[in-house]
Amino acid sequence: MINYFSARPGISPKVHTISGTGRTLTEIYCLGDTNAIDQTEIEALPGVEKVVSVSRSYAVIGRHNDDTRKDGFTYNGVKFDQSSLHLFAGLCAVDTLENVEEMLRILQEHNQNCTRMGAYKPRSNPYSFQGHGAKCLPGVFELAGKYGIQVIAMEVTHDSHIAEIVKALEQSGLATGVMLEIGTRNTQNFELLKAAGRQKKLPVLIKRGFGVTLDESLNAAEYLAREGNHKIIFCLREMKTNLRDPHRNFVDFSHVPVVRRLTHLPVCIDPSHAIGGRDQDPLGILDVMHTTSQGLIAGANMALVDFHPHPDQALVDSPQALHVNELS
Ligand code: PEP
Ligand code: MN
């Protein structure tokens, strides 16, 4: 294989290793003038199982001709793929450890093993609560372990946050696991994407940018994959429009099947940031419940939902927090 590439200076190989439960797969991406490649010649090389010709767009995350690569990944004992379904209900932002514990206890009563907890909050107003940051991590991780939570979705807005999370997880004795969230405001923060992609320990949930095209957002997910992290989930969280009322953002869950068709990534929906409140239909069913069902029926593999045991105490997004008696 090495001889093959050294004889072709116009093509540079990039190696990715994917470890599953059963075996480890090495993928070699050929970058450069690939028209010069003879597919049958590579197929004949020792150790080659399969050669897939990929298009230029979404080379790693995309679906391609004759592409039977398995989608999904397992992290901390939880499997994520285009057939799985997980609810990540939890606090938009960590406020007090008492509220964290109450939320986690209720999640455990509902047999939930995943949650969301924001420690680093990107806020429009610089005077708004910015999250407790690294100092809340030890308490949150210890409590998550106590209540059997295997994965916490947690937003990061700077690469230093990734290091802080990894350190606190290790100090907790890996009491739980963290899925890094790249929020909608950072979808095109390319240096953050590269940092989240370079580390391969933690999976990454990347949200669609609220004011850019789907193609631009999928390319952002490709940044993560290109750096070597293949544990990626793509999240639709609705678009900003000037239309606003009746909802905070404009729901784009009709794109769930589109993302499933274009890529092999599991798809998440975030109905909370779409609706932004507790309006309901004449039968008393909340708009956010309708929206969640629409996303799930369209094929979503995960839902990220804001809940709070005492919504009046929530320091971020209190109007959209669901009440814990609505969890079931
Ligand atoms: C969040 O999930 O708390 C959040 C800030 O989401 P978004 O980036 O979609 O606004
Ligand atoms: Mn929020």
Find where tokens 């690569």 sit. Answer: 69
Protein residues whose CB sits closer than 6 Å to any atom of ligand 1: 92, 118, 155, 183-185, 207, 237, 270, 273
**Is 123 within 8 Å of 129 (Cβ atoms)?**
yes
pLDDT mean values, one per 10 residues, the chain (328 residues): 77 78 79 79 84 81 83 96 98 98 98 98 96 98 98 98 98 98 98 98 97 97 96 96 88 97 97 95 97 98 98 96 95
CA–centroid distance, 129 to ligand 1, in Å, is: 14
From the list 163, 161, 166, 210, the residue with the least C-alpha distance to 188 is 210
CA–centroid distance, 54 to ligand 1, in Å, is: 32
| Domains contained in the chain, CATH given | 2-43 (no CATH), 72-326 (3.20.20.70)
For residue 266, CA distances in Å to 138, 170, 173, 299, 303 come to 29, 27, 28, 10, 11
- Give the DSSP per-residue string, 178-225: EEEEE-GGGTT-HHHHHHHHH--SS-EEEEPPTTS-HHHHHHHHHHHH
Strand segments, DSSP code E, in the chain are: 11-19, 24-32, 73-75, 78-80, 86-90, 114-116, 151-155, 178-182, 204-207, 232-236, 267-269, 302-308, 322-323
pTM, rounded to two decimals: 0.92
Identify the sign of the CA torsion 269, 25, 51, 28.
Answer: positive
Give the SS3 label for residue 27: strand
115, 124, 184, 188, best to mutate for ligand 1 pocket (most atoms within 8 Å of CB): 184
Question: Percent of the chain at pLDDT above 70?
Answer: 98
Return mean pLDDT, the chain: 93
CA–CA separation, 102 and 277 (whole Å): 22
Task: Report the DSSP pairing between strands 78-80 and 73-75.
Answer: antiparallel
In this predicted model, what pLDDT tens digit does every residue of 127-144 receive, in sequence order?
A: 999 999 999 999 999 999
**Is 28 within 8 Å of 14 (Cβ atoms)?**
yes
